[in-house]
Chains A and B, each alone.
Chain A
Amino acid sequence: MRPFTGWLSLVSACGAALLLSGATALPGAAQQTHVAGKTGNAARGKPLYTRYCAGCHGDEGDAQGENAQWIDPKPRDFTLGVFKCRSTPSGALPTDQDLFNTVTRGFVTTNMPPWVALTPQNRVDLVAYIKTFSPRWRTAQAGRPITIPPEPAPTIEGILRGRELFQNLECWKCHGPAGHGDGPSAKTLTDSKDDPIRPYNFQTGTRFMCGETNQDLYRIFMTGLDGSPMPSFADQLQANQAWDLVHFLRTLQPLHSPEAAMWRSWFSTHGRELKPIGPEGGGQ
C-alpha cells in the first residue's frame, strides 16, 4: 500500500538511533517530563516499564509484548507517537500531564489497567520513558491544550440544542441514534492499524477511556481520539455549543445526573414532539 514508508521509516529509525545515542550523553528534552512539580526521568522509568508495561506494550514500545496477541483492543504502539487521550488538537502530541493522567486512570473497557498503585514519581518517570520510543518527541513539541471556558448550568433548551448537534454533526452515524454504538457506519470502522473498532456505547457506561468529568467529555470530542475513527470537532463547535452537546450526551448515559433528570421530566410531557434522530430527523 505505501511503498515509500519502508525507507522513510528506516531513515527516521536511523535518525532516532542517532538522536538516542546523542541523548544518552546529553539528556534530551524527551528524556525528562514535568508534571505537577515533579520531574520524570526516563532512565528511572525504564526498569518500571520493563516490569509493569512491556508485557503488553513490548520492550521496544512497539505493542508486540507477549500478552499483546490475546488483547483486543491492542496495546498502544508507542513508536508511532499517536495518542487517543489528549488535551491538544488532533495531530498534536499530548502533554506530559495528559500521559500522566492516562497512566493513572487506565482505559476503561480495555486491558489497560489504572496504575494508581505506583507512586506519582514512578508514573512521571514512566511517562518520560514512553516518550523515548517515537522520534516524533524529538522533532515536535506537545501541542497547546485547547481552552475550556467555564461550564454553564445545564438547561433543557441547551440539552435540546445539543441533541440538534448530535443529529447535524452526524455523531449518530457511528454512535447510533440512541448512542448505543450501533450507527450505520459502526460495523465498518477500523483503527489506524486496520483493526476493527467499535464506537463508544453511551448506554453501557458512565466513564470514558479519556476521563469521566464533563470537562473530559468536552475535551474528547473537541480533540478527537487520534489513531481511531473518532474525529475532532474543534473546528465545528463554538464553546457554548460544545457545552450543549456535553449536556445532551449525559442524557444518553445511565446516570443520575442533573441533565438526565431534566431530560426525563421534559420528555414525559413533550417526548412526542420530537423527531427521532437518524437520516430523517432530529428536529422538534
Chain B
Amino acid sequence: MIARFTSVVALVAMVSGPAPGHRAAGGTISGKVTYTGTPPKARPIDMSKEPSCVAQHATPVTTQDAVTGAGNSVDYVVVYISAGDEGAAAATDTVRYEQKGCQYIPHVAVMQVHQPLAVLNDDPTSHNIHPLAKVNAEWNKSQPKGAPPIHTAWDQPEFIAVKCNVHPWMHGYFVVLKTPHSSITDSTGAFKLEGLPAGKYTVTAWHERFGTQSQEVTIAGSETKTANFVLTARPY
C-alpha cells in the first residue's frame, strides 16, 4: 500500500529538502481514530467486466469506503486543522491520483486549495474521471490508456466524491482543504499532524461514511499532544 502519513507539510519538507531538523520544529498532534456502532462489512468487488483489471489483482479487491481494523480502528479518515493555522504556508508539490487496477490510489487524496493535482491512468483501459463537485465546478473527462496526466487544481475547500462511470465500482475522494496540516489515518487508525506553531487549534476528523468530529487542542511549544476521535459507524 501507499505510505499514508502524508502530512502535506512533511511531504513538502521531504521534497524540497530544507535544513535537517526542520520538521521537528513546532508541536505535534497525534492520535487514533476508532468507531462505536456497527460498521458495514467490506464487500468484494466484481471487476469481471474489465478483465485487464481483474488480472492486476492476485486476490479480489474489497470496497474501501468503510475500512476498519483491530481495536475498532478506522482507515482513510482525514484529520486536519480546521481552525487556528490561518495563513500557514501553502503546499506547492503536486498531489498524484492514480487509476490502477480499476481502483483509485490513494482512495482518498488530500490537497490544499489551488495545490497542483495530477490524475494518472496506469491501466490498459479507458477511464473517465468524474469529480462530482458541488461547490467547485463538476467536470468529467475521458482518460484512455496511455493518455498523459490531467493537471488541475480546485478553487474552494470541498469534500468531492470521485467516480468513473465506465467502472461503477470505482469510488474515491478529493479532499480539498484550506490547511497544509492534514493526515490520513493508516490501517491502525493512527494519524499525526506535525510542525504546528504554538497556538490553539481546532482539529477535525472526517470520514466519508462515519461523518465529522472536531476538538480543540492547544500547543504550547515543541510538544506532542494526543487527540483521539471516536466516530459513529452506521451499516449501509
**A245 CB-CB contact with B under 8 Å:** no
Task: Collect the chain A residues with CB atoms within 8 Å of residue B143's CB.
Answer: 235-236
**What is the chain A residue whose CB lies nearest that of B211?**
A3
**B206 CB-CB contact with A under 8 Å:** yes
**A140 CB-CB contact with B under 8 Å:** yes
Known interface pairs A170-B125, A229-B128, A229-B165; A91-B138 also in contact (CB < 8 Å):
yes
Tally of B interface residues using CB under 8 Å = 35
**B70 CB-CB contact with A under 8 Å:** no
**What is the chain B residue whose CB lies nearest that of A235?**
B141
Docked pose: A140 CA to B166 CA in angstroms: 30
Task: Collect the chain A residues with CB atoms within 8 Å of residue B168's CB.
Answer: 185, 188-190
Tally of A interface residues using CB under 8 Å = 40
Docked pose: A229 CA to B135 CA in angstroms: 19
**A224 CB-CB contact with B under 8 Å:** yes
Contact for A192 among B49, B138, B167, CB less than 8 A = B138
Main secondary structure of the interface of A (DSSP, over half): loop
Task: Collect the chain A residues with CB atoms within 8 Å of residue B56's CB.
Answer: none
Most buried by B among A136, A173, A174: A173
Contact for A169 among B49, B142, B158, CB less than 8 A = B142
Q: Which of A4-12, A30-38, A110-118 lies at the interface with chain B?
A: A4-12
- Are the C-beta atoms of B134 and A2 separated by less than 8 Å? yes
Task: Collect the chain A residues with CB atoms within 8 Å of residue B138's CB.
Answer: 80, 82, 91, 192, 226-227
Q: 17 pairs across A/B with beta carbons < 8 Å?
A: A1-B208, A5-B158, A5-B159, A8-B156, A9-B134, A80-B138, A168-B144, A169-B126, A170-B126, A189-B168, A190-B168, A227-B138, A229-B130, A231-B130, A232-B139, A233-B141, A235-B142
Closest 3 CB pairs of A and B: A91-B139, A229-B165, A231-B128
